[in-house]
Structure 1
Amino acid sequence: MIIDEYPVVLLDRYIQDVNASYIVTNNKKATQEALEYLVKLGHRHICIVPKQNASDSSIQDRVTHAKTFLNNFPKNVTSILYTQGINYEQRQELLTKKEILKTKVIALLKKDPQITAFFVTEYYPATILYQVLIELNYKIPNDFSIICYDSPHFYNESVVHFTHVQQNEKQIAEDSFKMLDALINKKNESIQKLENADLIIGDTTAIPRN
């Protein structure tokens, strides 16, 4: 469709080396702001938690920018904990993969006991990580801080409110239609736009444990 010059706007991702129109969150800026917040709290050993073999360009960008920021920041140590894709509608699969993650977390913390914070590239894996740490008798955020991308809007006080990067989905949707209209009317050949995101402070981050 892109080669045939059909009007196409990609949302939240792009295709490398293809001159296609897209609108994505400014993952470099958003990731840096999230990690700067953890660093300002005093965290120096932060674990990045991405999905294994993620092909999504946005997830790849978050990981790349996180590694770059942490590697360039003095006295920071970076670890990686990969999660697996999970069908959250399948309870048995969810339980099985949570146990797999628990085993990996135990091994990680035995190898890197200095870890005090986790940067998770997506919301639902962050909830599983939270559950795993609680089941291992850790307290959040007393023992570990967790920060992630996105979070649903909750109005139930018993739900965990994650510190998270909130992508501006409404603005992305509105701008995408403006971009599509410009393409249809041949006002532009291709359009690439980065959308800002907000850092929302929740209940899962605090100063690191002593």
Structure 2
Amino acid sequence: MRKIKLEDIANTLGVSKTLVSMVLNGYGDKNGIKKETQERVIALCNEMNYKPNQMARSLRLGKTHTIGLIVADISNTFYAKMARNIEDYCNKFGYNLIICSSDEKDAKEASIIKMLKEKQVDGLIISSTLIDNTEIIALKKEHFPFVLVDRYFPEIPDTNFVIIDNYQGAYNAVNHLIGIGHQNIAMISISPAHITSVKDRNKGYSDALKKAGINNNHFLLCQVPFENIELGVELEIKKLLLYDKKVTAIFAVNQNITIAVVKILAKLNIKIPDHISLISFDDLPFFEIINPSITAVAQPLDTICKNAVEILMKEINKKDNTIEKTQLVLPTELVIRNSCKTL
């Protein structure tokens, strides 16, 4: 079957191709085209299953209506949910989404940014793993629309970002453990350690201990590799079991570490919270229904995604480069459940 063209629609209705194009691109009202005529154009396009040439449309409008999203790992539940929410909000603005994983590797993220720009995406939403901020500075100099989420570069002023208060969330979590009698609190963190979200959570942990007059013991500061979280967690927990003072609680800096901790403790027949308490930075739906349910720092993920997309749309549609940048730091919520024992 022959592909329906714009001129077929115009000839059938007895109007010009320009009129049909204006209606399909949303400029009917602006150009004084009658509502009845606009409705006839749209109805016939649907009836004849007309599909616009997207490449030609992109060249004409200067937009591809496509956004690139770069996250560390799309298989991570947090980023999977983020991607879905961002996709839904992009769709509301008539945009499609390309999702890429950097695997916490600088070189891969840099190549993804280059690839997405070559595909002429209209903007980027980035949860960056970069230790070298050259790529971000380049985007800024080019005035290329982008928004940072989850992680940001405090040394680069005037960039759009939507993050959470990682420091306060971690501080509140550890302070909760201190408040119910814990002092020997281990933290299991993750590499790469330069990422702002990780650094802020680590500092929140340390400052909570310091304010309570508890010395920071480097033996209790654990770090596992992004590439092999479960094995790393098992090795660190076995190391903690050798500590001469009983470790009574673990603060896990993200949900993947929390899941690994639960699995390894069960494997070692160490019961939560009878033998050791556990608190997670990041919440998951099943943390509420497993036994025991897991106390967790919950992030306002939907709010993060909604704001990120709305900010990016403003960047894409701006008339000049004087638009003020938006920098949002959102609060977290400590959800108290049953994984922390009062001593």
Question: What TM-score range do you get, normalising by the shorter chain?
Answer: 0.7 to 0.9
User: Which residue pairs with 1:126 in the alignment?
Assistant: 258
Find the partner of 1:80 among 200, 207, 221. 221
Find the partner of 2:205 among 42, 66, 87. 66
User: Which residue pairs with 2:148 in the alignment?
Assistant: 10
User: Which residue pairs with 2:335 in the alignment?
Assistant: 200
User: Which residue pairs with 1:49 in the alignment?
Assistant: 188
Q: By how many angstroms is 1:155 displaced?
A: 9.2
Instruction: Check conservation: 1:162, 1:202, Cα contact below 8 A.
Output: yes
Higher-helix-fraction structure: 2
Aligned residues: 199
Q: 1:65 aligns to what SS in structure 2?
A: helix
Which residue type is aligned with residue 43 of structure 1? H
Aligned runs of 1:103-122 on 2, under 5 Å?
103-122=235-254
Q: C-alpha separation between the residues in 2 aligned to 1:10 and 1:161?
A: 32
Structure 1 position 147 matched with structure 2 position 279: yes
Q: Does the C-alpha gap of structure 1 residues 162 and 156 become closer, same or farther in structure 2, counting only changes over 3 Å?
A: closer
Instruction: Check conservation: 2:233, 2:257, Cα contact below 8 A.
Output: no
User: Which residue pairs with 1:191 in the alignment?
Assistant: 326
Q: C-alpha separation between the residues in 2 aligned to 1:39 and 1:8?
A: 40
The TM-score normalised by the length of structure 1 is 0.83
Q: 2:242 aligns to what SS in structure 1?
A: helix
Q: By how many angstroms is 1:104 displaced?
A: 3.0
User: Which residue pairs with 1:169 in the alignment?
Assistant: 301
Q: C-alpha separation between the residues in 1 aligned to 2:193 and 2:149?
A: 17
Q: Does the C-alpha gap of structure 1 residues 14 and 139 become closer, same or farther in structure 2, counting only changes over 3 Å?
A: same
Q: Does the C-alpha gap of structure 1 residues 152 and 113 become closer, same or farther in structure 2, counting only changes over 3 Å?
A: same
| Superposition RMSD in Å | 2.4
User: Which residue pairs with 1:91 in the alignment?
Assistant: none
User: Which residue pairs with 2:101 in the alignment?
Assistant: none
Q: C-alpha separation between the residues in 2 aligned to 1:59 and 1:155?
A: 21
Instruction: Check conservation: 1:45, 1:77, Cα contact below 8 A.
Output: no
Instruction: Check conservation: 2:287, 2:294, Cα contact below 8 A.
Output: no
Instruction: Check conservation: 1:117, 1:146, Cα contact below 8 A.
Output: yes
Which residue type is aligned with residue 180 of structure 2? L
Q: Does the C-alpha gap of structure 1 residues 31 and 101 become closer, same or farther in structure 2, counting only changes over 3 Å?
A: closer
Instruction: Check conservation: 1:45, 1:76, Cα contact below 8 A.
Output: no
Q: By how many angstroms is 1:60 displaced?
A: 1.6
Q: Does the C-alpha gap of structure 1 residues 69 and 157 become closer, same or farther in structure 2, counting only changes over 3 Å?
A: closer
Q: Which moved more, 1:5-14 or 1:126-135?
A: 126-135
Q: Does the C-alpha gap of structure 1 residues 136 and 57 become closer, same or farther in structure 2, counting only changes over 3 Å?
A: same
Q: By how many angstroms is 1:74 displaced?
A: 1.6
Q: C-alpha separation between the residues in 2 aligned to 1:104 and 1:155?
A: 22
Instruction: Check conservation: 2:288, 2:294, Cα contact below 8 A.
Output: no
Q: 1:118 aligns to what SS in structure 2?
A: strand
Q: By how many angstroms is 1:157 displaced?
A: 4.1
Q: By how many angstroms is 1:167 displaced?
A: 0.3
User: For 1:46-103, what per-residue CA distance to the aligned partner results, in whole angstroms no more than 9, with x for missing partners?
Assistant: 111101333432112111221122123224554212122246xxxxxx7xx53x5334
User: For 1:105-164, what per-residue CA distance to the aligned partner results, in whole angstroms no more than 9, with x for missing partners?
Assistant: 222221243311111110111111122222222110111111111132139945653211
Q: Which moved more, 1:185-194 or 1:6-15?
A: 185-194
Instruction: Check conservation: 1:163, 1:200, Cα contact below 8 A.
Output: yes
Which residue type is aligned with residue 83 of structure 1? V
Percent identical residues = 22
